[in-house]
Amino acid sequence: MSLASEISVQQTGRRPTPSMRPSVRNICRPDPLISFAIFLGCLGYLCLFLRYSSLELDEGIVLQGAERVLRGQIPYRDFFTFYTPGSFYLVALVFRIFGDSFTVARFSIAVCGAVCSVLTYALSRRVCGRGIAVLCAMLATLAGAAFRFLVLHNPYSTVFAFLALYAALRAIETRRLPWMFAAGSLASTTLLFEQSKGVGVFAGLVLALVLFRIFDNGWHGITDWVYGLLLGGCWPLVLTCWFFGAHHALGVMAHDWIWPLQHYTKANHVPYGFQNWSDQTRELIFHSGPLWLRVVKVLTVSPTVIVPILPLIAIAILGRLAWKGWARDVRSQQFAYYILVCSVCAGLLASVYVVRPDSLHFMYLAPIWYVVLAWILDAQGAGSKFLQNARPYLFAYVVISFGMLALASLLPARGARYRVETRRGIIKTNAEDTVVPYAQAHLATGEELLVYPYLPLYNYLTGTLSPSRYDFFQPGMNTPDQADQIIQSLIPDKAVLLQPAFSDTIPHSWADTPVSAIVNDPVTDFLVRNYRTCKVLRSPDNLGFWWMVPKNRRCS
C-alpha cells in the first residue's frame, strides 16, 4: 500500500463519508512466531550488557530511589526527586520479587527493550514488508535499547508510551472502546514514569481523534472515544494522588512534579539534536587518525544525527496527509494508521523539545522513531520514484552505519575485563575502579556516605545511603537552599566522596549552566574548609574522587 494511494482523491461530486477503519483482510498482520523470535533474540542480546558498567552519572538515581522505597521512605516527603514515582516503585517491586542486585535491575531494562522491538515490528508490519519490519525491530534493540543500556526511567516510560500507541491502533482497527480506555490508562502510566512523555502521548492521541473527526464522517460518537481515553487516563492518577495523600505527601508531590519547569530546563536547555560530546571527543572523531578512519567514525556516530530527523519526517507526513485530506477529501485503508502514528510522534517530539532535545533523549525513543524509518526504507510503501531509486543506497547506509553504532556499543561491553565485587553483585568495567573496594572496606552496609555532587550509583553498589534528602546535586539546576540542606545533613560528621573536577563536565553536558553556579559551590567550599582528604580514588572513566572525613577525625 503506497502513500500515494493513501492520499489519492476520490472524485465525487459530494464530500465522501467512508470510514477510515482499516480492513482486517487487507491489513498486514505480524506473525506471532516472528514476534516471539524477535523478543527472545533481542532479550538475549541485551543480556550481554547486564553486568557491564562504565558508572554513568545518571544510572544510580532510580536504583537509590528504589532502595529508599524498600526502606519505607516515601518519595517527595522523605527524599527529593522531580521524577514521577513509577520507576522507583517498579524497580523496588522487581527487587522485592527477584532480589536486590544490579543485574536484576538491568534485566528489567532488557525486557523493556525486547518488548519495544516487538512493538516496532508490529506497527511497521502494518504497512511494510516483513523484511523491513524485522530489520527496524532489530535496530530498536541494536541501535536503540543497547545504545545507552542503563537503569533509568526512560526505558520504562518508552515501553508504556509505545504500548499506549499500540492500544490506540487496536482501537481504530477494531472500533472497540475498551482499547481506547487501555490507551488512556497506558498513557497515564507513562506520565507516572515521566511526566513530559506522558503528556506528549496524551496530546498525540487527542490530536489523532480530532483529525479522525475532521476527515472521516464515519467517526460518529467521537465523544465516547474521548471519554474513554480520559477515563482510562484518570484512574492511575487518582490512585497515585490517593496514595500520596494518605502518606501526607500530596502537596509536596505536586510541587516536585512541576519543579523541572522552573529549574531543570534552565541548566539543561540545548539546541535541537545536541551531541553531548566533549572537545576531546570531537577531536577524536573528526580530526584524529587517517581519512578512512575518520570516515568510519563519522559513519558510526551519524545515526545519532539521523534519529532526531525521523520525528520531523513524521510531522511532515502528518501535515501532508492533513492538507490533502482537507483539500481533496482523502480516504484510504491505512489513512487512520498514519494519522495516529504521526500524531503520537508529534506529541512525543514536543515532550522531548520542551525537556532536553539532545541526541540521547531522541535515542531513548528510537523504537518508536524506527517505525518512521521503516516507512522510508519500504520504497514501495512510499509511492515515490525518488525513494524507489534511493532505496538500495538508504538500505545500505542504514545497515552499515546503524550496525557500526551497535558494534561500538557491544565491543566495550564484551571487552570489559575488570571485575568489581560490589554489595549488589559483580560488575564488569573497562578499567580499574578503586572507589567501590575502598568504600566497602571503610563503611558497612546501610551506613551513610555523601557522594557529591553526582554519582549515586556508588551509593547503590556499596550499599550506602546519602545522609541528605538528595541523592545527586547538579549546580545550576538545584538551588542554593538545597545546597544548604546538604551541608546541614553532614552534621553530625559523615564520610564524603567528592569529585572535585565535576565542573569540567558541565560545559559540554549542561551548556546553559550559569557561570555563577560553577564558581560558587557552597557544599564544596564547606568541605574544603572543614574536611580533610584521606585518599584519592579513581573511577573506570579515570574520574578523580577524594575520600574525605572531618578534620577532627583521623583517616582510618
pLDDT at 12 over 80: no
Same structural domain, 317 and 446:
no
* Weakest-pLDDT range from 246-255, 284-293, 530-539: 284-293
Average pLDDT over residues 313-332: 78
Strand partners, 495: 449
What's residue 393's pLDDT? Answer: 92
Same structural domain, 389 and 492:
no
Phi, psi of 149 (to 5 degrees): -80, 85
Average pLDDT over residues 290-296: 90
pLDDT (tens digit per residue) in 301-314:
999 999 999 999 99
Q: Is the dihedral of CA 8, 10, 15, 19 positive or negative?
A: negative
Strand partners, 465: 448
* Weakest-pLDDT range from 30-34, 220-224, 309-313: 220-224
Q: Residue 9 falls within a domain, yes or no?
A: no
Q: Can you give the pTM of this predicted structure?
A: 0.91
Same structural domain, 408 and 429:
no
| Torsional class of 476: left (φ above 0), alpha (ψ -120 to 50), beta (otherwise) | left
Same structural domain, 385 and 363:
yes
Number of domains in the chain: 2
For residues 345 and 204, is the Cβ–Cβ distance under 8 A?
A: yes
pLDDT at 251 over 90: yes
Q: Are strands 495-498 and 449-452 parallel, antiparallel or unpaired?
A: parallel
What's residue 288's pLDDT? Answer: 87
**Other beta carbons within 10 Å of 482:** 16
For residues 361 and 352, is the Cβ–Cβ distance under 8 A?
A: yes
What's residue 283's pLDDT? Answer: 85
* Weakest-pLDDT range from 300-304, 305-309, 323-327, 351-355: 323-327
pLDDT at 2 over 60: no
pLDDT at 7 over 50: no
Same structural domain, 238 and 271:
yes
Q: Residue 226 falls within a domain, yes or no?
A: yes
Same structural domain, 304 and 169:
yes
pLDDT at 16 over 70: no
Average pLDDT over residues 453-475: 93
Question: Number of helices and strands (H, E) in the chain?
Answer: 27, 6
pLDDT (tens digit per residue) in 500-535:
988 878 777 777 777 777 778 899 999 999 999 999
Nearest CA to 142 out of 437, 373, 382, 438 is that of 373
Greatest pairwise CA separation for the chain in angstroms: 92
Same structural domain, 317 and 378:
yes
* Weakest-pLDDT range from 2-16, 118-132, 323-337, 514-528: 2-16
Choose from 19-28, 93-102, 211-220 the range with maximum mean pLDDT: 93-102
Q: How confident is the model at residue 164 (pLDDT cuts 50, 70, 90)?
A: very high
Which distant-in-sequence residues (6+ apart) come within 8 Å of 195 by Cβ? Answer: 84, 257, 260
Among 382, 412, 442, which residue terminates a domain? Answer: 412
Same structural domain, 393 and 492:
no
Higher pLDDT, 106 or 494: 106
Among 412, 441, 462, which residue terminates a domain? Answer: 412
What's residue 139's pLDDT? Answer: 97
**Distance, first Cα to last Cα, the chain:** 72
Nearest CA to 199 out of 361, 85, 349 is that of 349
Q: Residue 14 falls within a domain, yes or no?
A: no
pLDDT at 432 over 50: yes
In the block, residue with C-alpha cell 492538507: 323
Q: Residue 478 falls within a domain, yes or no?
A: yes
What's residue 321's pLDDT? Answer: 86
What's residue 537's pLDDT? Answer: 95
Average pLDDT over residues 431-452: 94
Among 412, 445, 469, which residue terminates a domain? Answer: 412
pLDDT at 17 over 80: no
Mean pLDDT of the chain: 88
Q: Name the grid cell of 556.
A: 582510618
Q: Residue 13 falls within a domain, yes or no?
A: no
Q: Residue 19 falls within a domain, yes or no?
A: no
* Weakest-pLDDT range from 11-25, 39-53, 506-520: 11-25
pLDDT (tens digit per residue) in 85-138:
999 999 999 999 999 999 999 999 999 999 999 999 999 999 999 999 999 999
Average pLDDT over residues 212-216: 79
Same structural domain, 93 and 125:
yes
Same structural domain, 173 and 76:
yes
Same structural domain, 210 and 297:
yes
What distance in Å separates the CA atoms of residue 405 and residue 286, rounded to the nearest whole number?
A: 16
| Amino acid, single-letter form, for residue 518 | I
Q: Is the dihedral of CA 203, 204, 210, 211 positive or negative?
A: positive
Same structural domain, 485 and 398:
no
pLDDT at 15 over 50: no
Higher pLDDT, 397 or 335: 397
Average pLDDT over residues 336-356: 94
- Its domain, for residue 58, covers 28-412
Q: Residue 163 falls within a domain, yes or no?
A: yes
Choose from 45-54, 285-294, 377-386 the range with maximum mean pLDDT: 45-54
pLDDT at 8 over 50: no
What's residue 218's pLDDT? Answer: 61
What's residue 87's pLDDT? Answer: 97
Q: Residue 555 falls within a domain, yes or no?
A: no
Higher pLDDT, 326 or 130: 130
